[in-house]
A and B are shown apart, each in its own frame.
Chain A
Amino acid sequence: MDKTQIERLQQKALLIRRDLTEMLFRSASGHWGGSLGLADVFTVLFFGGILRYNAKKPEAKDRDRFILSNGHIAPLYYTVLEHAGFFGDKKPALRKIGSPLQGHPSHTHLAVVETSTGPLGQGVGVAVGKAIALKMQGSSARVFCITSDGEHEEGSTWEAVASAGKYRLDNLIYILDRNHVQISGTTEDVGNLGNIGARYRDLGWEVLEVNGHDIGKLLRLFDSFKYKSRKPRIVIARTIMGKGVKQIENDYHYHGKAPSEKEYLMAMAELK
């Protein structure tokens, strides 16, 4: 890792923020805030040499499995897939009839999507199933699962966490988007999450924390995944919902909203 790599990734993250804002503005519906917030994490995973994938062979056996359990930040996922070359020369539109870019990621519409998500608390469990399967098959592939703090209000999320701890799934890595914001307000006002890290530790996980916008730190931490752990791992990435567009940062009203024309122009002027 060197300075130029960090700068290159920062540039990439900026481009991805611009492109996903453009995508959302064109579709006039979709989740903007969380997509901006996790752009740095996605950039490091996909373009920092962490995740093993082959855009030409999205179903290659030895690929790392990537699951977006909080499916509503699909605009970020799709933008990253496009940058990674998964769509070739095509530029499919978000949320339009016949498009593979469904409002929430769909396995039936897009092969690279490991499992359809949308309702919270499911992708996290499918990730556990895939991790068990890969271990049974003796595969060295790993399962990366993105999840959100709001998703931890679902009981089934904790069922998945408990089962991964029970089976010591050392090939499973969750990355938690800890932005404290959900659709109706803050996670403190809406739900009751307690100490997330402590809950994970109690259930047999290794808990790591990082500033979700510090590319250098993210790179260093994610790079450590090449070393084996004896437990499933969770990275609690502290993020800011709406990161990069000052006027909407941390404002829960922008959780589930696409930019208006005015907001779009303002954002594009800022994301430079």
Chain B
Amino acid sequence: MNYQLNPNLLSNDVERKSARQGFGDEITELAKGNKRIVVLDADLGESLRLEEYKKKFPSRFIQMGVAEANMISVAAGLALEGFIPFTSSFACFTPYQAVSQIRISVAYNKANVKIIGGHAGIVTGGDGASHQALEDIAIMRSIPNITVFSPCDYWQMRKCVKVAAKISGPVYIRFSRRDVPMITTGKTPFRINECQVLRDGTDGTILAHGESVYRALLAAETLYKEKKLDFAVLNVHTIKPLDEKTILKYAKRTRAFVVVEDHQIAGGLCGAVSEYLAENYPIPVQFVGIRDKFGESGDPEKLLKKFHIDVEDIIEAGMKIRERKRMFVYNK
């Protein structure tokens, strides 16, 4: 499939932009044409790039103060009366500070609330473990009725926001703080029930979400050039519902998976993919994620290395999975 990706993607001077800027830009655009859109903020509007939105739509910007639990309940009330509320905060606050509100007032009610979780992952860096959301996907994907997005870059974030407004029901969007390479372009299609095959291959498949997708692509490139291993790369931007069709297709085709994420292995994409494979098509899977640990303060790049979720770790996992694939007895 032609995704019309950024032609500069693998060059050193690839353009970078943050997903949070994508949130601010897209919500401002969307609100122009849709009067049902409202934004609730828990005192982090500037960090989530909402200045422009706030200026243009002051009557549809509701400042809730540092009170995430109530922000979610109030959003549920607005949604049940026909509005499309986007709640904006960091992933370390929503879901965590408001899990019961998300579970009952939003998910159980099937309230049309869109929960924005910015500054996710260990790459949040300096703020330290308290602010590095590493379990948010596990929480959100285990609650029924919630769609979970983890866009890989600025443009994909914009599309997630747009699609979220169209879907009827709760949506969670998680993304990181910093400027990240632009993998996709404004023209790249986005389908909720289809993960993107960014690179085809036969020796194995690397599955990733969020800004880890870029590291997966770099690792696949190195595996190909230096190790003569041909890995496919899937961008699993929608973690729930999982695109089981494409995952099964690549499980059958490549018979070895590497799952990569800036999140705990438990309950994240690693968990989601494994749950599906265990029941439907067991193959060896190697995880590149956080292994039951809290993060710490530091430079994001150094943290990726220290917690073993960097490009080198993906390459190593690729080599390992190749060995395991050789030893594995597959079901006919």
Q: Which of A42-50, A120-128, A205-213 contacts B (4 or more CB under 8 A)?
A: A120-128
Interface residue tally of chain A, by bracket?
20 to 34
For the complex of A and B, list the 10 residue pairs with the smallest distance between their C-beta atoms, beginning with the closest. A129-B77, A125-B73, A159-B70, A133-B81, A129-B74, A159-B67, A130-B77, A126-B77, A156-B69, A125-B70
- Which stretch (B97-105, B176-184, B233-241, B299-307) binds chain A? B97-105
Instruction: Report A-chain residues with C-beta under 8 Å of the C-beta of B189.
Output: none
Q: Which of B83, B104, B111 has the most CB of A within 10 A?
A: B104
Q: Are A155 and B69 in contact (CB under 8 A)?
A: yes
For A102-132 the 0/1 string (1 means CB < 8 A from B) is: 0000111000001111110111111111111
Whole-angstrom distance between the alpha carbons of A226 and B83 in the complex? Answer: 27
The smallest C-beta distance from B43 to any residue of chain A, in angstroms, reads: 13
The reply to whether the CB of B75 lies closer than 8 angstroms to some CB of chain A is yes
- Which of A115, A129, A131, A155 has most B Cβ within 10 Å? A129
Confirm or deny: B7 has a beta carbon within 8 angstroms of a beta carbon on chain A: no
For residues 68 through 113 of chain A, which have their beta carbon under 8 Å from a beta carbon of chain B?
Answer: 106-108
**Which residues of A lie under 8 Å from residue B77 when comparing CB positions?**
115, 125-133
Evaluate whether A108 and B108 lie within 8 angstroms (CB atoms) in the complex, with A125-B69, A163-B70 already known. Answer: yes
Q: Which residues of chain B are within 8 angstroms of A166 by Cβ–Cβ distance? A: 65
Q: What are 10 contact pairs spanning A and B, CB under 8 A?
A: A106-B108, A108-B109, A122-B101, A126-B73, A126-B77, A129-B73, A129-B78, A136-B38, A136-B83, A137-B82
Interface residues of A (CB under 8 A from B): 106-108, 114-119, 121-134, 136-137, 155-156, 159-160, 162-163, 166
The answer for the CA separation of A136 and B111 in the assembled complex, in Å, is 18
Chain B interface (Cβ < 8 Å from any Cβ of A): 38, 59, 62, 64-65, 67, 69-70, 72-83, 85, 100-101, 104-105, 108-111
A162 touching B80, Cβ below 8 Å? no
Q: Which residue of A lies closest to B81 (CB)?
A: A133
Q: How far is the CB of B30 from chain A (nearest CB, A)?
A: 17
Pair A119/B81 contact, Cβ less than 8 Å: no
User: What chain A residues lie within 8 Å of B65 (beta carbons)?
Assistant: 159, 162-163, 166
Q: Which residue of chain A has the shortest Cβ distance to B75 in the bound complex?
A: A129
Query: Given that A129-B74, A129-B77 are contacting pairs, would A122 and B105 also be in contact in the complex, using a CB cutoff of 8 Å?
Result: yes
Provided the pairs A129-B74, A156-B69, A156-B73 are in contact, do residues A122 and B100 lie with their beta carbons within 8 angstroms? yes
The answer on a CB contact under 8 Å between B104 and A122 is yes
Residue of A nearest to B97 (CB): A156
- In contact, A160 and B70 (Cβ under 8 angstroms): yes
When C-beta atoms are compared, the residue in chain A nearest to B82 turns out to be: A133
Q: Which one of A117, A125, A128 has the greatest number of beta carbons of chain B within 10 Å?
A: A125
Contacts of A132 in B (CB 8 A): 62, 74, 77-78
- Give the chain B neighbours of A107 by CB distance below 8 A: 80, 108-109
Output the nearest chain B residue to A143 by Cβ-Cβ distance.
Answer: B77
The reply to whether B101 and A118 form a contact with Cβ atoms under 8 Å apart is: no
A156–B70 CB distance below 8 A: yes
- Which A residues lie within 8 Å of B81 (CB)? 129-130, 133-134, 137
Which chain A positions have C-beta within 8 A of B110? 108
Which among A114, A123, A133, A134 has the greatest number of chain B C-beta atoms within 10 A?
A: A133
